[in-house]
Amino acid sequence: MVKYKIAAVVAEFNYDITQMMLELATAEAKNRDCEITKVVAVPGVFDMPLVIKKLLQKDEYDAIITLGAVIEGATDHDQIVAQHASRKIADLALEYDTPVALGITGPGMTRLDAHRRVKNAKSAVEAAIKMCDRLKEI
């Protein structure tokens, strides 16, 4: 029996990295007797909040994880994307009383840094599950 059903919202931008993140997240969920039952690909991290809101409105998932890699460019664009997306993601978790774990790496990192941080996807799953457990206790 599956302990929790989790949806994953995954950025297509930097897909080589985010696909590895999804694989690790899926394995971590299984190791913890949970399942990623829905995967939705979005163009980039900035596009995640709308899909997260639609998933939360369905009320079919115990938690949602976000997977993305915001890599530094020639401008401060990475800072803006990460800041605004993460803020809205946190707001949605509060609005819908459902854990939405931040598995987005960056900003301010190189592509090599992003590859090194792929394992953060496992931490997102762990955080989502811990929050589900904690909310049951309240």
Q: What is the pLDDT of residue 136?
A: 95
- Which 3 state secondary structure label does DSSP give 32? coil
Query: Does the annotation place 37 within a ligand binding site?
Result: no
- Cβ contacts of 78 within 8 Å, gap of 6 or more: 70, 71, 72, 106, 107, 108
Domain containing residue 10: CATH number: 3.40.50.960
Task: State pLDDT tens for residues 96-130.
Answer: 999 999 999 999 999 999 999 999 999 999 999 99
Q: Is 84 a catalytic residue?
A: no
Exposure string over 76-102, b if 16+ CB within 10 A, otherwise e: eebeebbeebbebbeebbeebebbbbb
Q: How far apart are CA 101 and CA 136, in angstroms?
A: 17
13 is in an annotated binding site: yes
**Percent of the chain residues topping a pLDDT of 70:** 100
Tell me what percent of the residues of the chain surpass a pLDDT of 90.
96
Give the tens place of pLDDT for each residue, 71-103.
Answer: 998 899 899 999 999 999 999 999 999 999 999
Using CB atoms within 10 A of its CB, is residue 25 exposed (0-12), middle (13-18) or buried (19+)? buried
Domain range for 75 is 4-137
pLDDT score, position 1: 87
How many structural domains does the chain have?
1
Q: Is 29 annotated as a binding residue?
A: no
Rounded to the nearest integer, the mean pLDDT of the chain is: 97
Are the C-beta atoms of 11 and 68 separated by less than 8 Å? yes
Question: CB of 90 within 8 A of CB of 100?
Answer: yes
Tell me: pLDDT of 15 over 90. yes
Please identify which of the residues 30, 54, 77, 119 carries the catalytic annotation.
77
Describe the strand order of the beta sheet including 35-42 as a list of residue ranges: 35-42, 5-11, 63-71, 100-109
pTM, two decimals, is 0.97
- Cα distances from 97 to residues 11, 62, 118, in angstroms, run 23, 10, 27
